[in-house]
């Protein structure tokens, strides 16, 4: 559906999907941040609610102790202090109930059950007080609460019913149950958060509250012991149990508290009053529950109350830390929610802006590229080709200049560079084709002139044959033979340049001397060639004819560029695995630039021969023949001032044999003709 749509539409469709996904992700993250902030707010609200429990627990403990003392004294003392404490309890209980009513408990059923159960237990205060004020007192029994194992561990069943409250011991026991149930509420505050700092702060606060609860139990129990100056039945074992459990909860507090909280606690449990409490408790324990117990009940109650008040101060500090921790969590969550919201909105706006800007830039750049491509394809390139065909002078470097300025390195920039490269190649190819057409004309002209001069010379010799005697006629016929051989070499050079192979070849290996003589026989001034010592070896028959042509071209070049009274020298030397032929003249020589140019062409002839340089046609032929058989040809300065051509025949062309081959029958050419066979074993 979008195949033929404009690029702008395709980019818009491509960008809409990611942008929608980013918007959905932004909405999810923002919602998650808001949920986290709301969760932190609920945790902070619960932490503030938990902070209101410590005053209530402290006042309930005080009312429990005063109630126990009031009953233990047979209700003979004045109840004024107990009444004041009951009013204080009612005041903090009303505050706690109001805070519980405002608390949002919809998403936490466990905490809702804990709060409901604790408030139901707190509502039993009036029944407890009625039992303490009017319930039957058993004179011989100590009025102390029973500490059950479940209560000590703080693992109460929220559905548990503690039974009727009919006498003072049951009423005092209900105080303990209510305090434990209220402390259990705070254990459900921290699970609403995954903040380790808050969890540890709540854990420390609950542990200290339970330790303070068991310290208060000891205050009431020892107050009764010191008033009796003896342990009643079961009181000694209960005292040791209470002390042991207090130690356990103090250890839990120390493991969860921060160093600052530990320092506050340690300062609170120091001083002469605390030392007196420890001394009186230790003295009571030392009796082993037997015999009289020394100590004054009023002094004990007063000093132990000082210890509990100090622990109450530490408890308040822990509650403040819990509230501060939850408040910092809420603040951090609100800050994160706001920050994430702003960042995601900014990212969304930035993504949309960047996408639109990028799409606009791509469309504009592609439009410019399209316009330039059309201009080059429809106007510039056809104009260059037309001028080249008409033979006009064209500056190819200027015409092949980059039509597109690709400053960027992206795919569009690379596309522009590729188009510029294609344009340059097209202009260069057009120039090469025009030059090739001119070169072909020059080549035909050069070869035509060569052949024309040879034919004219042949016609002159043929015309003179009638006026010559037999001896002179033989000389003229020999000259005609040389002219025909040179004309044939020109034709075979054209075949070599075309990439085909001439039909002439020997049937078997040929002696290198015969190859050299055949090459000498094909040059114009063969009488000026002097052969130096040539070591005997055999050249493979399939390459012998090409080696003859290669040497003939080098000899022709040596004779053409040297004085008529000088000679060209040919020598041959066998190497361990190859064979070296050297052709040396005494001519005008070549410059260093010419040597470099010619040797470069001989070592690796170009695929496209520049036939415009018709004077170097022989070197192109030599390069093609050398490349065909792996022959290495190199020119260098001669010791006589001219040029020395080195021809290195590879091992694949050398045939190791002790005897030269016998002259064989002539090789039949494809046209059905027969090649003249010479006395030295070669051929034409």
Domain of residue 615, CATH code: 3.30.565.10
Q: Summarize pLDDT for 398-453 with one digit per residue, the tens.
A: 666 666 655 566 666 667 777 677 767 777 777 667 666 666 556 655 655 566 56
Structure tokens at 418: 């590729």
Rounded Cα gap, residues 317 and 314, in angstroms? 5
Q: What pLDDT is attached to residue 681?
A: 33
My answer on whether 565 and 508 are in the same domain is: yes
Residue 69 has pLDDT above 60, yes or no: yes
Rounded Cα gap, residues 142 and 526, in angstroms? 151
Q: What pLDDT is attached to residue 55?
A: 85
Residue 278 has pLDDT above 80, yes or no: yes
Give the range among 225-239, 398-412, 631-645 with minimum mean pLDDT. 398-412
For residue 567, tell me if it sits in a domain.
yes
For residue 86, tell me if it sits in a domain.
yes
Q: What pLDDT is attached to residue 248?
A: 92
| Boundary residue ending a domain (469, 500, 531) | 500
Give 8 or 407, the one with higher predicted confidence: 8
Residue 646 has pLDDT above 90, yes or no: yes
My answer on whether 311 and 405 are in the same domain is: no
C-beta of residue 211 within 8 angstroms of C-beta of residue 201: no
For residue 487, tell me if it sits in a domain.
yes
My answer on whether 628 and 673 are in the same domain is: yes
Q: Identify which of 13, 14, 12, 18 has the alpha carbon closest to the alpha carbon of residue 347.
A: 18
Q: What pLDDT is attached to residue 439?
A: 61
* Separation in Å, CA 421 to CA 202, 387, 398, 430, 547: 75, 21, 14, 14, 41
Give 471 or 135, the one with higher predicted confidence: 135
C-beta of residue 117 within 8 angstroms of C-beta of residue 158: yes
Q: Summarize pLDDT for 137-179 with one digit per residue, the tens.
A: 765 444 454 554 434 444 445 455 566 787 888 888 888 888 8
Q: Identify which of 300, 311, 293 has the alpha carbon closest to the alpha carbon of residue 278.
A: 300
Average pLDDT, the chain: 76
For residue 314, tell me if it sits in a domain.
yes
Rounded Cα gap, residues 589 and 592, in angstroms? 10
My answer on whether 172 and 319 are in the same domain is: yes
Q: Identify which of 658, 681, 670, 679 has the alpha carbon closest to the alpha carbon of residue 548.
A: 681
My answer on whether 495 and 544 are in the same domain is: no
My answer on whether 585 and 628 are in the same domain is: yes
C-beta of residue 250 within 8 angstroms of C-beta of residue 262: no
My answer on whether 52 and 105 are in the same domain is: yes
Q: What pLDDT is attached to residue 466?
A: 57
Long-range contacts of 77-85 (CB under 8 A, 24+ apart): 79/133, 85/59
My answer on whether 63 and 129 are in the same domain is: yes
Mean pLDDT on 181-193: 72
For residue 38, tell me if it sits in a domain.
yes
For residue 354, tell me if it sits in a domain.
no
Rounded Cα gap, residues 240 and 68, in angstroms? 20
Q: What pLDDT is attached to residue 475?
A: 64
My answer on whether 183 and 329 are in the same domain is: yes
Q: What pLDDT is attached to residue 191?
A: 60
For residue 437, tell me if it sits in a domain.
yes
Structure tokens at 419: 């188009």
Confidence of residue 606 (pLDDT cuts 50, 70, 90): low
Percent of the chain's residues with pLDDT above 90? 9
| HSE value, Cβ hemisphere, 13 Å, CA-based, for 315 | 26
Structural domains counted in the chain: 3
My answer on whether 639 and 496 are in the same domain is: no
For residue 225, tell me if it sits in a domain.
yes
Residue 473 has pLDDT above 80, yes or no: no
Q: What pLDDT is attached to residue 498?
A: 59
| Boundary residue ending a domain (321, 345, 369) | 345
Range of the domain at 419: 395-500
Q: What pLDDT is attached to residue 160?
A: 55
Q: According to DSSP H, which parts of 587-645 are helical?
A: 592-603, 617-629
Give the range among 139-143, 248-252, 330-334, 428-432 with minimum mean pLDDT. 139-143
Rounded Cα gap, residues 98 and 114, in angstroms? 16
My answer on whether 483 and 525 are in the same domain is: no
My answer on whether 287 and 308 are in the same domain is: yes
């Amino acid at each position: 559906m979008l195949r033929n749509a404009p690029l702008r539409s395709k980019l818009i469709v491509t960008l809409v999907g990611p942008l929608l996904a980013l918007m959905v992700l932004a909405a999810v993250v923002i919602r998650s941040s808001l949920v986290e902030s709301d969760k932190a707010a609920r945790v902070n609200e619960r932490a503030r609610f938990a902070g209101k429990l410590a005053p209530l627990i402290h006042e309930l403990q005080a009312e429990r102790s005063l109630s126990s003392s009031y009953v233990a004294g047979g209700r003979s003392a004045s109840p004024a202090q107990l009444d004041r404490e009951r009013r204080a309890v009612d005041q903090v209980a009303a505050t706690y109930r109001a805070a519980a009513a405002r608390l949002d408990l919809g998403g936490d059923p466990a905490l809702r059950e804990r709060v409901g159960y604790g408030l139901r237990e707190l509502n039993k205060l009036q029944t407890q007080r009625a039992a303490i004020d009017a319930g039957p007192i058993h004179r011989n029994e100590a009025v102390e609460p029973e500490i059950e194992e479940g209560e000590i561990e703080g693992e109460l069943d929220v559905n548990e019913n503690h039974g009727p409250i009919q006498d003072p011991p049951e009423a005092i026991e209900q105080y303990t149950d209510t305090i434990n149930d209220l402390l259990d509420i705070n254990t459900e505050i921290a699970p609403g958060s995954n903040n380790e700092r808050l969890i540890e702060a709540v854990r420390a606060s609950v542990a200290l509250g339970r330790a303070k609860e068991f310290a208060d139990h000891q205050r009431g129990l020892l107050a009764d012991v010191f008033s009796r100056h003896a342990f009643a039945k079961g009181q000694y074992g209960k005292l040791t149990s209470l002390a042991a459990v207090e130690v356990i909860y103090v250890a839990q507090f120390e493991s969860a508290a921060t160093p600052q909280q530990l320092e506050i606690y340690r300062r609170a449990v120091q001083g002469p009053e605390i030392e007196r409490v420890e001394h009186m408790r230790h003295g009571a324990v030392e009796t082993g529950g037997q015999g009289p117990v020394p100590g004054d009940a009023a002094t004990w109650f007063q000093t132990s109350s000082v210890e509990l008040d100090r622990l109450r101060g530490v408890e308040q500090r822990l509650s403040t830390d819990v509230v501060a921790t939850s408040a910092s969590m809420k603040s951090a969550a609100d800050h994160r929610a706001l920050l994430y919201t702003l960042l995601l909105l900014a990212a969304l706006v930035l993504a949309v802006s960047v996408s639109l800007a990028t799409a606009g830039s791509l469309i504009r750049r592609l439009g410019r590229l399209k316009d330039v491509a059309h201009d080059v394809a429809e106007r510039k390139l056809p104009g260059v080709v037309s001028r080249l065909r008409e033979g006009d002078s064209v500056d190819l470097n200027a015409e092949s200049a980059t039509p597109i300025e690709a400053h960027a390195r992206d795919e569009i920039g690379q596309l522009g560079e590729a188009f510029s490269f294609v344009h340059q190649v097209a202009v260069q190819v057009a120039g090469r084709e025009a030059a090739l057409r001119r070169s072909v004309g020059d080549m035909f002209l050069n070869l035509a002139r060569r052949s024309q001069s040879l034919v004219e010379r042949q016609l002159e010799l043929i015309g003179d044959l009638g006026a010559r005697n037999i001896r002179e006629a033989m000389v003229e016929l020999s000259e005609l033979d040389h002219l025909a051989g040179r004309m044939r070499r020109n034709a075979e050079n054209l075949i070599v340049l075309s990439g085909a192979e001439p039909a002439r070849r020997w049937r078997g290996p040929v002696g290198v001397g015969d190859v050299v003589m055949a090459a000498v026989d094909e040059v114009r001034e063969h009488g000026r060639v002097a052969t130096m010592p040539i070591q005997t070896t055999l050249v493979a028959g399939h390459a012998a004819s090409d080696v003859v042509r290669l040497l003939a071209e080098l000899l022709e070049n040596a004779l053409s560029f040297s004085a008529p009274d000088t000679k060209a020298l040919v020598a041959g030397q066998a190497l361990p695995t190859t064979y070296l032929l050297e052709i040396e003249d005494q001519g005008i020589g070549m410059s260093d630039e010419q040597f470099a140019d010619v040797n470069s062409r001989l070592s690796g002839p170009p695929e496209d021969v520049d036939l415009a340089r018709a004077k170097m046609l022989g070197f192109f032929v030599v390069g093609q023949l050398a490349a065909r058989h792996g022959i290495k040809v190199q020119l260098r300065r001669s010791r006589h001032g001219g040029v020395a051509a080195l021809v290195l025949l590879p091992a694949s062309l050398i045939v190791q044999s002790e005897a030269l081959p016998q002259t064989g029958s002539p090789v039949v050419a494809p046209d059905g003709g027969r090649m003249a066979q010479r006395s030295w074993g070669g051929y034409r």
